[in-house]
Chain A
Amino acid sequence: MKTLKQIFICVFCLLAFAACKNETQDASTNSLFTEAETTANKKTGQAFITDDESTPTVLSIAIGSPDHTTLVAAVQAASLENALVNAGPLMVFAPTNDAFAALPEGTVENLLKPENKDALANILKYHVTPGNYSKDFLKKFKKLGQANNQYVKIDVVDGEPMIGGAKILGSVKAGNGIVHVIDKVLLPPTE
């Protein structure tokens, strides 16, 4: 666990330096993410508004959860913070740290590399549905259209909805949607 944290710190440093590099380069460099990274570095956008009155957003719920540090690190690495505080509504399937740890060794580390930012964003977006449904209500669906443009299947097993094979461990209502904590990382089907 500790090693993972250290890796994160290192990755962050790398990211930060990489971002700097981009900035010092000619501003017209054709990098689509220059702006997003600048934004992330400056910590501007909806994600960074001080608001302790409203119900927490799906992002702040994840940030506040000790079981989701890996997910939060991944969201930050993919610069998706501002998308997760949007009016949505957003339904986030949030794999626990254990779920990430269960992935084959090296997977998370690999995804957190700057060059894999798109792949990471794609996986994370596969965990987000534009919608807001309770665990019980999810049983009505056969599939959900995810933010990465792919579908995730829903099966009902023993009266419980299984999201792409993952079990919902608990649910937290958010100001802009709902977070369902799941026990597996959802991997987008490859075409």
Chain B
Amino acid sequence: MKKRLTSTIAIAMIFAAFTSCNNSGKTNGQSGALSSNVAEKVYVAPGEYDEFYAFISGGYSGNLTVYGLPSGRMFKEIPVFSQFPTSGYGYSEETKPMLNTSHGFIPWGDSHHPDISQTAGEIDGRFIFINENNTPRIAKIDLKTFETTEIIEVPNSAGNHSSSFVTENTEYVVAGTRFSVPIPQRDMPIKEYKGNFQGALSFISVAPETGNMDIKFQVLMPGFNYDLSHPGRGKSHGWFFFTTYNTEEASTLLEVNASQNDKDFIAAVNWKKIEEYVNNGGGTMMPADYAHNVYDEHTHTATSTMKKEVRVVNPSEVPGAVYFLPTPKSPHGCDVDPSGEYIVGNGKLSANLTVHSFTKMLAAIEGEKFDGEAYGIPILKFEDVLAGSVEQPGLGPLHTEFDGKGNAYTTFFISSEVVKWKLGTWEVIDRKPTYYSVGHLTIPGGNSGKPQGKYMFAMNKITKDRYLPTGPEMEHSAQLYDISGDKMELLLDFPTHGEPHYAAAMRADLIKERSQKIYDLEDNKHPYAAKSDDDTKVVRKGNEVHIYMTTIRSHFSPDNIEGIKLGDKVYFHVTNLEQDFDVPHGFAVLGQNTSELLIMPGQTKTSVWEPTKVGVWPFYCTDFCSALHQEMQGYIRVSAANANTPLIWSMGEDIE
């Protein structure tokens, strides 16, 4: 009896406790709603604009997506490393060269870390760079047109992961290798990895005016894994920092074998010193094989050039240029605060965050206080370079961003949260859960001397129950937080496309004002452009047939074509004569084995068609361009290979 009573009371107490909790929860919610209306904070009224652009990497989609903040609306998917049937990127004759590599044409890529160009340590919004991880490449996207205009392959690299971060004045976009490999590549036993494989850190120069990329030099480092990187800035401008793991140099079961050392390193590279050495003729030109693909806005055509050599520098050639900073347990994120003083290394398997001091690093170098060396590279003493550590802030730290107000924000994968902490005192100020298992986070202007604060968004790896279910495969979820106050406030949950490994974001105004509306038709230098209906023609060269075609609301010219034979290779060179903002035309022909084309005003694009069947086949505009869009169509007649059908074309008249 007594026992029963006790348990009854206990149960009653539990109920009471939870009920009162619910009540207090509600009260809390109401007062929260009164003091700050979360919905209002993310609401962008119809016709109004978002305050920030966010460029979110598409991961295994190979692309880059453009979002607005705070609304979380997606505006565009920019094709970068993957064929994109929506626009014909990578399918059209003009853009196929963009995906050329030393391994041939590659239709897919794994895009990772976008970074916006900078001037004097501030985001300038001219270009955005992004790395391809699988077949190492760096792409440049012009933020005037939001088109990929250049892709350079990175030789001697494999798993292009500690990329593509830019220096303070966009002197370089830097690409470090995750996997070390034999350099040069050769046929050798995998077991002989240790001491024989090397890791290349590539410094790709960016021409100030055009943004043209060129590999200035590669630093050939010991065979570790170079995981992430960030440039020094302000006082540390001229240095670049890379996290490493697998300093054990294991080639198998890395989850065990690369976790043996208590500490791995952050590699500090004085690139100014190496640049000077190279400018004076230092380094060695070694044979290499890599593609450099450039899109010309005037010809609307990309060209791919195979380059045959690259300049490499061994750290031992430039004493004082490279140092190792011991950092606990396989550090992943490598983030530098806006002042350039603090270098944060997040040990994936460590529960603490390690922060190094640039000033202390210089002093330690000056004092030559080394703790041995690795392959001739001096190792600094951990205690000498340590600024401080954030003790046990969460589980599985990955990446850190800064708000420019002395605070840092770090993601924790395992405990699924973002933790705000203070630079200098290392105290934890706030923590908020993410949904779920957060990878990267972004604050607008994050990788720069002047972060633009206000918002932070966390990009998660796991979605589970956040949205209406869509079967086993789901888009990843992101959460937007207001970081203007002491505490972070969760504002919005929005899906992202592909797998967002990092994002770059910035105030919208700079980009918005410069955004291009049309391509000037007069300036169109495409060799097959037809700038008016008078220029249209069909030309046979052996079994190649070139159709110089135009589009304007609401017809193709020509729209009746005869004289094509089986075995012909038919090139539809389609010029969009429109000079009106947002009036693209599309082109598709039945049985086209590539993709449609989407042609912007003033642009020329080409689709190749190799008909396999005799008949009369329709083509049409795929973009609902006008009130008479459904009338925008034509026919092309395909005859047998030995037929005598004459080559004729027309528009608006009977074929004679």
Contacts and interface: CB of A to CB of B under 8 A. Distances in A.
Interface of A: 6, 9-10, 12-13, 16-17, 19-20, 23-24, 27-28, 32, 35-36, 38-39, 41-42, 45-46, 49, 51, 82-83, 86-88, 90, 122, 125, 130-131, 133, 140-141, 145, 147-149
Interface in B429-478: 430-433, 435-437, 461-462, 464-465
A169 to B, nearest CB: 24
A19 B414 contact: no
Interface string B21-47: 100110110011000000000000000
Contact of B416 (A28, A82, A133, A141): A82
B33 to A, nearest CB: 12
A17 B413 contact: no
Contacts of B432: 35
B24 A141 contact: no
Contacts of A12: 14
Given A10-B10, A32-B431, A82-B415, A23 B25 contact: yes
Given A12-B14, A49-B464, A125-B351, 18 more contacts: A6-B6, A6-B7, A20-B21, A23-B24, A23-B28, A41-B25, A46-B416, A46-B435, A46-B437, A51-B464, A82-B415, A83-B395, A83-B416, A86-B415, A86-B416, A130-B396, A145-B329, A148-B351
Nearest to A149: B351
Nearest to A85: B436
Interface string B400-418: 0000000000000111100
Contacts of A122: 392
A149 B24 contact: no
Do most interface residues of chain A lie in helix, strand or loop, or is the interface mixed? helix
Given A13-B17, A83-B415, A24 B24 contact: yes
A95 to B, nearest CB: 20
Contacts of A20: 17, 20-21, 24
A27 B14 contact: no
Contacts of B465: 49
Contacts of B20: 17, 20
The 7 closest A-B pairs by CB, nearest first: A16-B17, A149-B351, A23-B24, A9-B10, A13-B13, A49-B465, A46-B436
Nearest to B31: A27
Contacts of B464: 46, 49, 51
A33 to B, nearest CB: 9
Nearest to A88: B414
A16 B24 CA distance: 12
Contacts of B392: 122, 148-149
Which one of A28, A82, A131 has the greatest number of beta carbons of chain B within 10 Å? A82
A8 B298 CA distance: 75
Contacts of A23: 21, 24-25, 28
Contacts of A141: 256
Contacts of A83: 395, 414-416
A45 B432 CA distance: 12
B13 A147 contact: no
Contacts of A133: 256
Contacts of A125: 351, 395
Nearest to B13: A13
A50 B582 CA distance: 46
A41 B10 contact: no
Contacts of A45: 416, 433, 435-436
B21 A19 contact: yes
B349 interface: yes
B17 A39 contact: no
Contact of B413 (A51, A86, A145, A148): A86
A149 B353 CA distance: 11
A56 to B, nearest CB: 15
Given A130-B396, A140-B256, A86 B351 contact: no
B487 interface: yes
B352 interface: yes
B513 interface: no
Interface in B483-502: 486-487
20 contacts: A9-B14, A13-B17, A20-B20, A23-B24, A27-B32, A32-B430, A32-B431, A46-B436, A83-B395, A83-B414, A83-B416, A86-B413, A86-B416, A122-B392, A130-B349, A130-B414, A141-B256, A147-B395, A148-B351, A149-B392
A87 B437 contact: yes
Contacts of A86: 396, 413-416, 436-437
A19 B414 CA distance: 24
Contacts of B536: none
B350 interface: yes
Given A45-B435, A149-B351, A149-B352, A38 B25 contact: yes
